[in-house]
Amino acid sequence: MEIQIAHYLVVAGILFAVGLTGVVVRRNAIVILMCLELMLNAANLALVAFSRVHRDMQGQVFVFFAITVAAAEAAVMLAIIIAVYRQRQTVNVDEMDLMQG
């Protein structure tokens, strides 16, 4: 059976869903960040597949920007996690409940 573009989109959809589920069920901030990276990568796969559909490079250029943004986001989030860990000795989002109401 020949591989269709849709196969790639389905893989992208599955990876996106796995990442989303991870963001919802996991409690460790670092692991949540990894799940978010996975979601961005799923979008990248869809972009590359679509760039083949339209036979142009715009989708692949977009992936470049997505990777850069993901890297910047990861750096900032890891910095915040380190700063919070110094205060609280935890990276568990369930324990971050100082504010209620």
Other C-beta atoms within 10 Å of 12: how many? 21
Q: How far is the CB of 84 from another protein (least distance, A)?
A: 4
Q: How far is the CB of 29 from another protein (least distance, A)?
A: 6
Q: Which residues ranging from 59 to 98 are in contact with another protein (CB under 8 A)? A: 59-88, 90-94, 96, 98
Q: How far is the CB of 3 from another protein (least distance, A)?
A: 5
Compute how many residues bind another protein; rule: CB under 8 A: 97
Place of tokens 């949540």: 32
Q: Which residues ranging from 7 to 66 are in contact with another protein (CB under 8 A)? A: 7-66
Task: Give the contacts of 96 (CB within 8 A, at least 6 positions apart).
Answer: 84, 88
Q: How far is the CB of 100 from another protein (least distance, A)?
A: 9
As a three-state string, the secondary structure of 24-41 is HHCCEHHHHHHHHHHHHH
Strand partners, 92: 28
